[in-house]
Amino acid sequence: MLFTTPLLDKPAPGWKHDLPGPNESPSNEPYPPVLSNPPNHVDDIYLELASGTFRIRGVAAWGAMTLFLFSLIPPFTWITLFITTGAVPSFVFNFFGFIAFIVPLWVGVFFWRMDVEAPRDEPIRFNRFRRKVYVYRFYRDGLRPFSRTAWGVRAEVYDWDNLRAEACSVYGPMGSGGLIETVTLAVVKPGTHQVIDRFHFAHEIQQGEMYWAMAQLFMQQGPQALPTFPHPPRDWNNEDVTFNLARRLAPKVRWPAEIDLESRTAP
């Protein structure tokens, strides 16, 4: 069943409803023709599902380069005025010129790193023998776009029983406005509804509910409970990305050796 009042403290931004818990019956049945990607991998031990912060890669990188060009206008204007007049521009001109330089530079660096430094995939592994979930997760910080430590990939491990799925929808800056739907996974403190972490799971509520149902079926019954997909898994690390600048520069998925081994094996 779908819960109509939030179960978690606090619910995700734009909360619409909670999905069934990890050990409850799925709310719907996965239907491969409407799902974006088949599982990256499935066997008797673990299921790996594709995930990612962006649905479309490459647009932000070109937008960033446009912003970099805009950031050059104030210093060139300052130099031109100084050469032609021989005088230093006024404080007001310098102040607003600095703002016009730093803002597009700041936003451009953020857009560039978001599009180029995010890995080609952010997979999630569900190990039904260990009852663990392994998340290959990309971290970023909009307030610190130049930081090295605030950006990067971390592999994290959670208990399956402590995961909760939420359907969310928020209005985002998409021209005149657009509805962005996602399914997020929350990690709760054992035995409570207190959220201690939360991360992106899938784009679009319908697809997210089906992918969550796949995880539930696999963890509860095994690979035989999953539907058959008509197409083979996508090779995120070795696909042809010649004409997509962001995906071409994006780092490949490299699990830490210990977590990679643990996530693929039984105890």
Q: Say which DSSP state 208 is in.
A: H
Average pLDDT over residues 136-147: 90
Q: Are 113 and 151 contacting, i.e. CB atoms less than 8 angstroms apart?
A: yes
Q: Which residues contact 40 (CB under 8 A, 6 or more apart)?
A: 48, 49, 50, 121, 123, 233, 234, 236
Q: How far apart are CA 213 and CA 24, in angstroms?
A: 10
Instruction: Place 3 in a pLDDT band, splitting at 50, 70 and 90.
Output: low
CA-to-CA separations, 245 to 41, 58, 203, in angstroms, rounded: 27, 6, 22
CA-to-CA separations, 142 to 64, 86, 145, in angstroms, rounded: 14, 39, 6
Cis peptide before 132 (omega within 30 of 0): no
Report the share of the chain in percent with pLDDT over 70: 96
pLDDT of 207 strictly over 60: yes
Sheet with 152-159: strands ordered across: 41-42, 46-49, 124-127, 132-139, 152-159
Average pLDDT over residues 108-124: 93
pLDDT of residue 2: 55
Mean residue pLDDT of the chain comes to 90
Per residue in 68-113, pLDDT (tens digit) is: 999 999 999 888 888 888 787 888 888 998 999 999 999 999 999 9
Q: Which residues contact 129 (CB under 8 A, 6 or more apart)?
A: 45, 266, 267
Q: Helix and strand tally (H, E) in the chain?
A: 6, 9
Among the residue ranges 23-32, 86-95, 117-126, 239-248, the one predicted with the least confidence is 239-248
Nearest partner of 164 among 199, 206, 136, 129, judged by Cα: 199
Per residue in 148-191, pLDDT (tens digit) is: 889 999 999 999 999 999 999 887 654 444 678 899 999 999 99
Report the share of the chain in percent with pLDDT over 90: 62
